């Protein structure tokens, strides 16, 4: 992640800026890139299923 130290809290806060389906439960780095960072985000849905985002 380059020179930045992103915490789980930072990632969850950023993910909260998107219209995600369900309650945000987890987010962590996913792969790496030269310019951008990529994250895997997990949301629990009301029907008991989960929704994953990259």
- From first to last of the 54 residues of the chain, give the pLDDT tens digit: 454 677 778 888 888 889 999 999 988 888 877 888 888 999 999 999 999 999
Does 38 map to a domain? yes
Please tell me whether the overall predicted TM-score, pTM, comes out greater than 0.95 for this model.
no
Integer CA distances (angstroms), 34 to 1, 14, 17, 38, in order: 9, 19, 23, 11
Does 1 map to a domain? no
Is residue 53 within 8 Å of residue 43, measured between CB atoms?
Answer: yes
Domain tally, the chain: 1
As a whole number of Å, the end-to-end CA separation of the chain is 16
Please give the helix or strand (H or E) that residue 13 lies within, else none. Answer: helix 8-15
Q: Which domain holds residue 29?
A: 8-53
Q: What is the reported pLDDT for 10? A: 82
Does 18 map to a domain? yes
């Amino acid at each position: 992640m380059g020179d930045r130290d992103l915490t789980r809290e930072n990632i969850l806060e950023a993910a909260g800026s998107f219209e995600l389906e369900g309650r945000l439960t987890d987010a962590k780095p996913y792969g790496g890139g030269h310019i951008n960072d990529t994250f895997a985000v997990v949301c629990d849905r009301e029907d008991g299923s989960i929704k994953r985002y990259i």
